[in-house]
Amino acid sequence: MAVQGKIAALRGRMLRREVSCEEITRAYLDAIEKKNGALNAYVLTTPDTALHTARAVDAKIARGETLAPLEGIPMTLKDNISTKGIETTCCSRILKGYSPIYNASVWEKLAGQNAVLLGKTNMDEFAMGSTCETSCFGGANNPYDLDRVAGGSSGGVASAVGGGMAAYGLGSDTGGSVRQPASFCGLVGLKPTYGAVSRYGLIAYASSFDQIGPITVTAADAAAVCDAICFYDEQDSTSVPRRYEPAAGALEQDLRGVRIGVAKEFMQAVQPAVLKAVEEAIAVYRSLGAEIVELSLSTLSIALPVYYILACAEASSNLGRYDGIRYGYQAGTAGNLNECICRTRSEGFGPEVQRRILLGTYVLSAGYFDAYYKKAQTLRGAVVRSFDEAFAKCDFLLAPTAPVTAFRHGRAAANPIETYQSDICTVPVNIAGLPALSLPCGFDPDGMPIGLQLIGRAFDEKTLLAAAHRFEQATDGAYLCREVLA
C-alpha cells in the first residue's frame, strides 16, 4: 500500500477544488465541538482566526496562486508555543490570562504561510510530566481508550491529531514529550536535532533539552512539517545555520545495506507486548534488506539521573520569572512583595512543577553543585560519546519509544518515580541532542498502540523519516491511525 500523508491528501483535495479550505476547517471545528469534551485535547480554540485564514487561502486558490506546503492545513500548537494575542498558558494556573506580545519564530513562519490554527492544546504543566495529567486543565485522554492518558507532555497535540481534531500539531520534546504521546496514541512524533528548530518563543522548561517537533499521522506528514519548521533563526543562538536538505522528497530510500543498531540496554525492563512488537519491526527492516547490528549503550543507566538533575536545574532558573507582578496569575496584593510573590508561586504552580523547581534549586545550591549539577554535566558528555561510538557502527538506532503503552489515569501521580523511569528510552536522545522519531509498530493485547523509536545522527532527520516511511509501506499502514487517515 502506498501510504501518503494526511497533509498531502487534504492539500490535493483543496487544489483539485473538491473541497474548500473553509469547509475543511469547519469540519475540524465541528470535530472539536463534538469530541473535545471527551478528549480534553484543546484548552483554547480559535475558530475565528482559523476561518479567517481559511478564507484567505480559498481566495488564493481561486486566483490560481501556488500554496506553500502547509498552507491551509488545519493544525494545532501546544500551549507553550507563544502566539501573539492568543492566550498561552503552558497549562499552568500561573500563566492564566497571559497573552504573548510576540509570536514564536516557528509560528511566525507557519502563520506567514497561512497555516490554519485551530487552537492551543493541552500539556503537562510547563511540559513537566509524561501523562498530560499535571495540566491545570486536567489531562487529555487517549483516542484509543478514554480511560487512558494521551501521554505527555504534548498529550493534547497527540489527542487532537489522533482524535481527528487537527491534521497535525506542534509539540515540544524535552525528554520524550513529542515521541511518547505519539507512541501512546498511534501517531508519528519527531524530535528534531537540538538546534534544528528555533526555540524562540517556546516557553522554556529545560533550555538545553527543549526542541519543538511535529506529531502527525504518517511519516510523510512529519517530513512535510519538518521541512517547514527547520530553518536558521538568528533570534535563537543555539539555532544552527546549515544547508538544509528537504526530507519530503527523499522518503523513498532503499534500505538495503543500511545498518540499524539495536542496543540491548534499550530492550531491558520493557513490557512483553512492546518487546514483541519491536522485535517484529526489526524483522520487517531485515526483510527490507537492512543489516541489524547488535551493540551496547552502557551509559543508558545514568541517563535518567543526568536528565532529571540538569533539566530540573534549568527549570528552576527558567521558572523564576513567574512572580505574578507583570502578567499571569496573582494571588492578591496583601503583605509585602516577597509574601505576595511567595503566595502567587505557591498557588500558581502545581505540585509536579514545585517538586522540580525544588529539586533544581537544590542541585544548584552552594555545597551541592559539585555533587549533582557538575557531575551530571560531566556524565552528559559521556552519554554523548557513547552515542558517537554507536554511530560508528550503524546508520541509526532502533529502540522502543516507551517501555509501556498508555497508562490508565491516575497511575502517574501515585507513582512519580515509576513514571520518571518510563522516560528511559527517550531522555538519552535529548541528553545528546540527537534527532529521533516514534512511529506506530503494533498494539498490545488491549489494543493500545506501541511506538517504535528511530534515533539518528545529528541533523539526519531525513534518514529517520525515510526509514519510518518505508516501514509504513512495508506494513501496509497497519498500525497507523486508519480512522483519521481515511
Partner 1 sequence: MRQYEMIAGLETHVELSTKTKIFCGCTTAFGSEPNTHCCPVCTGMPGTLPKLNARVVEYAVRAGLATGCRINRISKMDRKNYVYPDLPKAYQISQYDKPLCEWGRIELSNGRTIRITRIHIEEDAGKLVHVRGNTLVDYNRGGVPLIEIVTEPDFRSADEIREYLETLQLTMKTIGVSDCKMQEGSLRCDVNISVRPVGSETFGTRTEIKNMNSFTYMEKAVAYETERQIDLIESGGTVVQETRRYDEASGMTESMRGKEDADDYRYFREPDLVTIAVTDEQIEQWQADMPELPRHRLDRYTNQLQLPAADAALLVKYPRIAAYFDEAAQGVNARTVANFILGALFRRLPTDAEKENAAFPVPAAYLHDLAALIDGGKLNMNLAKTTFEKMLDTGKPVSDLLTQADLAGLDAEALAAVCRAAVENNPAAVADIRAGKEKAMGALIGYVMKATRGKADAGAATALLKQLIG
Beta strands 259-263 and 291-295 are parallel
Nearer to partner 1, 97 or 416 (CB): 97
Smallest separation (angstroms) from partner 1 to the CB of 208: 4
Contacts (Cβ under 8 Å, ≥6 apart) of 429: 176, 191, 435, 436, 453, 455
Phi-psi region of 393 (alpha: psi -120 to 50; beta: other; left: phi over 0): alpha
Smallest separation (angstroms) from partner 1 to the CB of 146: 32
Distance from chain centroid for Cα 15: 29
Separation between Cα atoms, residue 80 and residue 94, nearest integer Å:
13
Separation between Cα atoms, residue 233 and residue 131, nearest integer Å:
31
Nearer to partner 1, 194 or 396 (CB): 194
Smallest separation (angstroms) from partner 1 to the CB of 469: 32
Separation between Cα atoms, residue 37 and residue 299, nearest integer Å:
43
Nearer to partner 1, 174 or 438 (CB): 174
Residues lying near partner 1 in the complex (CB under 8 A) are found at: 80-82, 88, 90, 95, 98, 100-102, 104, 199-204, 206-208, 234-238, 313-314, 316-317, 320-323, 325-326, 337, 341, 361, 364-366, 369, 373
Smallest separation (angstroms) from partner 1 to the CB of 423: 20
Edge to edge, the sheet with strand 212-216 lists 42-45, 116-121, 74-78, 168-172, 212-216, 188-191, 436-443, 449-456, 396-400, 259-263, 291-295
Nearer to partner 1, 340 or 397 (CB): 340
Separation between Cα atoms, residue 96 and residue 218, nearest integer Å:
34
SS3 category, 172: strand
Peptide bond into 177 cis (omega under 30): no
Q: Provide the 10 A C-beta neighbour count for residue 333.
A: 12
Grid cell listed for 299: 551509559
Smallest separation (angstroms) from partner 1 to the CB of 219: 29
Contacts (Cβ under 8 Å, ≥6 apart) of 345: 94, 322, 323, 324
Judging by beta carbons within 10 Å of its beta carbon (0-12, 13-18, 19+), is residue 317 exposed, middle or buried? middle
Task: Report yes or no: 106 and 170 within 8 Å, Cβ to Cβ.
Answer: yes
Nearer to partner 1, 204 or 412 (CB): 204
Place of cell 540491548: 264
Nearer to partner 1, 376 or 398 (CB): 376
Residue 191 phi, psi (nearest 5)? -105, 110
Smallest separation (angstroms) from partner 1 to the CB of 187: 25
Nearer to partner 1, 86 or 412 (CB): 86
Q: Give the active site residues.
A: 78, 153, 177
Nearer to partner 1, 146 or 325 (CB): 325
Smallest separation (angstroms) from partner 1 to the CB of 84: 10
Separation between Cα atoms, residue 346 and residue 335, nearest integer Å:
15
- DSSP class of residue 143 equals T
DSSP strands (E only) in 70-209: 74-78, 116-121, 141-142, 145-149, 168-172, 188-191
Smallest separation (angstroms) from partner 1 to the CB of 426: 19
